[in-house]
Structures are given as C-alpha cells and as structure tokens.
C-alpha cells in the first residue's frame, strides 16, 4: 500500500481533515489478524458506508426520477449498489492498490476480489461521512457514479412467452404460430381453458390456464421449453 494517499484523495475529489479515517477504511481484517498490536479493521466503516451509500443513491434517484414508483426506484437502486457495480467503481479509482491486506489474502488474489473491493469502497464512503458529513458523502457518490446513473428511469420489461415464440418462428420459419382453444371446463368461478399452439413446422403444444390468455402463454412456454429457449422451471 502506498504511503502517500494524496493521489487517491485526488481521484475521490475529497481531502480528509482526518487522514487516519482513510487509512482505517483501507485496512482489511486480514492485515489486522496478522499483527500482534491491536488494530481496527474497516468492517465497522463498511457497515456505516453501506447505509450512507443506500441513502445517498436513494436521494439522488428520488430527486431525478420524480415520476417513478417505489418498486421501480428500488430496482434502479439495486442495480447501482450491487457488489459487482461497486467493485467496478473501486477499480475505476484504483482503490485496490491502496488497500492494506495480510500476506495470505494478498497471495490468494484478494486484491481483485469483488467482495473485498466493494467492501472497501463502502468503508471509504463511511470514512467520508464521518469526516465531512452526509453532504460530503452524497457529493462523493454523485461524482463517482457519474456516467452510471440510469438515463431512462424505465427498465426494459421482459418479453412474454407469446411474443418470444412469435419472434422466433417469424425469424426461423417466416410464419406466425397459430393458437386455438380446445376446451373450457369447470364452473364459472374456476374455469380451466386448454389452448393448443401450432407451429409452422407442424409441432403443437398444449397449455392450461384460468383464462384463454393464460392458457396461450402456457402453450407458448411449453413450445419454448421444447426448443430449449426456456428453462424447465422459472424463478
């Protein structure tokens, strides 16, 4: 770890009033465990930084995407603060070269592990919060996340089974699948529809559902499964 942390502060765009906070944020538990003298690792700062990061990102998304509902904002935030995203950001500012690691962790390639890098990133944010307050921490998040904020608040929606099947058959066979209702059984409050989808190549697949639309979707899913375009089970 370089002794001079000024280049890192320059990349962060923040100068610490208490440089020891930055040193602490860069101190991994493996470094502490290999030394006899009692030292603190960055784990507590990571805990604090995680909460600061979530609040800072939430505040920015709330301000930028006023028309979005809670669920959409939550999905956008999850994309931004996931481990892989934070690790990538840590690499962008060269954080790995400044982290204090134990020899064992170093030899095992810990300096490039996503989990370690994302934890250190959060710890640095926690250190900024303690050193300069939430305003400084939020400014740091805004700067470092520049270019990563979503341009469009609406995430692309997954295509349904019928759409995917139609696109596939038109692309490969130049024709659309044909759906036909085979039966409708059960009482009015619990009817079960059976639909068959016929593909241009002559194959046919059946689907059951509580409505004709649901049965069509299930038939399309069965067809996609048979072609290896859809897993047998869905999360």
Q: Give the catalytic positions in this structure.
A: 50, 122
Cβ contacts of residue 136 below 8 Å, gap of 6+?
Answer: 14, 128, 129
Distance between CA atoms of residues 28 and 12, nearest Å: 19
Neighbours of 145 (CB within 10 A): 17
**Cβ 87 vs Cβ 121: under 8 Å:** yes
Q: Is the four-CA dihedral 186, 189, 190, 194 of positive or negative sign?
A: positive
Distance between CA atoms of residues 45 and 39, nearest Å: 14
Strand residues in the chain grouped as ranges (E): 178-185, 192-198, 204-209
**Cβ 174 vs Cβ 103: under 8 Å:** no
């Amino acid at each position: 770890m370089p002794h001079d942390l000024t280049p890192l502060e320059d990349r962060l765009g923040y100068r610490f009033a208490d440089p020891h906070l930055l040193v602490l944020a860069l101190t991994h538990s493996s470094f502490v465990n290999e030394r006899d003298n009692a030292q603190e690792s960055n784990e507590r700062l990571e805990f604090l930084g995680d909460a600061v990061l979530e609040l800072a990102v939430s505040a920015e998304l709330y301000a930028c995407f006023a028309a979005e509902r809670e669920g959409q904002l939550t999905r956008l935030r999850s994309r931004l603060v996931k481990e892989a995203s934070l690790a990538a950001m840590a690499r962008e500012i060269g954080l790995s070269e400044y982290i204090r690691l134990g020899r064992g962790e170093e030899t095992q390639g810990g300096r490039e592990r996503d989990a370690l890098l994302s934890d250190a990133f959060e710890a640095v944010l926690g250190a900024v919060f303690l050193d300069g307050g939430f305003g400084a921490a939020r400014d740091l998040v805004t700067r470092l996340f520049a270019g990563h904020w979503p341009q469009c608040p609406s995430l692309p929606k997954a295509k349904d089974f019928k759409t995917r099947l139609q696109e596939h058959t038109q692309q490969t066979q130049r024709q659309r699948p044909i759906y036909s209702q085979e039966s409708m059984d059960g009482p009015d409050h619990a009817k079960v529809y059976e639909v068959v989808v016929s593909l241009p190549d002559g194959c046919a697949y059946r689907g059951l559902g509580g409505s004709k639309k649901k049965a069509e979707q299930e038939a399309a899913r069965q067809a996609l499964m048979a072609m290896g375009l859809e897993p047998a089970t869905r999360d």
